[in-house]
Amino acid sequence: MKERRKQGWFEFARAVGTILAALLLGFIITLFVSKEPIAAYRAFLLGPLTRTNRFGNWIEESITLTLVGLAICLVFRARQFSLAAEGQLYLGALVSGLVGLYFQMPALLHVSLAVIAAALVGFLWGLIPGLLKAYLDANEIVSTLMLNAIAIRIYNLILTYRLKPPEAGYTVSRYFHPTALLPRIVPETRITTAIFWAIAAVFVVYFLMYRTPFGYALRMTGANIRFAYYGGINTKRVIYLTMAISGIFAALAGAHLSMGIHQRVILNVSMGLGFEGIVVSLLARNNPLLIPVTALFYGYLRAGADIMERSSDVTRELVMVIQAVIILLVTAEGFLAFLQRQMRIRRGAELAEGKEAGDVI
C-alpha cells in the first residue's frame, strides 16, 4: 500500500512538472512575440479570476470539457480510439434544440425530455461505429471521422433551412422556450445546473467502470482483448456498447451548450471541443475521477487564451503551442512510465528464472 501511494504521488509530481514545463516554454515563446510579455502572460494566467463573467467562462468551458472527457475516457479504457464525440456533441445540441423549439410543457418535464432526446441520439450515433468495429472490424478512427462530417452537415442543413427565421441576419435559430432553458445558478455568468450533470456523470462513469460486470469486461477488453475473449467476455458487445454509452456524455455536452450557454441553436456550436476531450482524458490518464481536475485546468487555459488575445498583442495560437507541448510531454512521460514497467517485469522474470536455475542446481 505504501509503495502504491508513493508511486501515485510520484506520478502526480511528474504530471505537475509536465504542465509547469509547458507553461515555462509558453512564456519563453511569449518573450519573443510580445512587446509586453509579462503583462500578456499575466492576463493569460490570472485573467479568468479577475472578473465574475470571466470566472463564469472558465467554469462553462470546464463543464463541457468534463462531459466530453468522460466520453473519450470510456472508449480509451476499452482500447478503442473513437473520435465521434464531435459529431455526437453537434447532434445533442441539435436534438435538444428541436425539443426546446417545438415542444411546450412544464419546465422540469421540458428540460428532461430535451436531455433524454439528446442522450438517445448520442447513444444511437455512437452505436453505428461501434457495430462497424465489432462486427466488420472497420477502423474506428476513419468511421468516426466520417460520421462527424455527416453529423455536422445534418446540423448545418437543418439549422440553415429549417430553424433559421427568415428575418435573421445570420445563421441562428430562435431562442428556446423559457421552459427548455437550463437555470443559471451564478449571477452575471452562464453557469447553469449542468454543473450537477457533470458531477453526477463523473460518479456514474466511475461506478460503471469499476463497480459493474460491464466495467470489468470493458477494462479487461482494454487490457488484452484476446485474453478477455478467451476468458468468456463478449468483446464485440463491449466494444459497441462502450462507443454507444460514450455518445451519451458527448451529446449531453451539446445539450449543455445549446440549452444553457447559447439558449438557441447556432452555427459552429463546438469549434473542436469534441477533440479537446482527448487532451482532457489523456491528462487524467483515463481516470474518470481526475477528469474534472484536468477539465478545470484545460478550461482555464482556454479561458485565459481568450483574455490574453483580447487584452494583449499575443494571439491564442500561443496557447495552441502550449497545448501541443503538454500533449507531447504527457505522451513522452507515459511512454517512459511504460518502459519502466516493462523493465520491472523483465527484471522480475529474470530473477524468477535465476531462482529456478538455482533450485535445479
Residue 263: which region, alpha, beta or left (left: phi > 0; alpha: psi -120 to 50)? left
Mean pLDDT of the chain: 87
Is the model's pLDDT at 346 over the cut of 80?
no
Q: Give me the phi and psi of 270, to 5 degrees please.
A: -105, -50
pLDDT tens readout for residues 185-244: 998 899 999 999 999 999 999 999 999 999 999 999 988 888 888 888 999 999 999 999
Contact 332, 32 (CB under 8 A): no
pLDDT tens readout for residues 47-83: 888 888 999 999 999 999 999 999 999 999 988 888 8
How far CA 265 is from CA of 87, 100, 252, 306, in Å, comes to 15, 10, 14, 22
Q: Which three cell numbers stand for residue 232?
A: 468468456
Using CA atoms, how far apart are residues 252 and 115, in angstroms rounded to an integer?
7
Indicate the Cα dihedral angle 68, 70, 72, 73, nearest 10°: 160
Q: Tell me the H-state helices in the chain.
A: 2-33, 37-46, 52-77, 85-102, 107-136, 140-158, 194-210, 213-223, 225-230, 235-256, 273-283, 291-311, 317-360
Mean pLDDT is lowest, of 14-23, 85-94, 130-139, 245-254, for 14-23
Using CA atoms, how far apart are residues 269 and 11, in angstroms rounded to an integer?
36
Domains in the chain, start-ordered, CATH in brackets?
1-34+314-361 (no CATH), 56-312 (1.10.3470)
Indicate the Cα dihedral angle 68, 77, 301, 265, nearest 10°: -10
Using CA atoms, how far apart are residues 322 and 81, in angstroms rounded to an integer?
23
The pLDDT of residue 166: 87
pLDDT tens readout for residues 4-45: 566 667 666 766 777 788 778 878 888 887 888 888 888 888
Task: Tell me the β-bridge partners of 172.
Answer: 266
The pLDDT of residue 169: 81
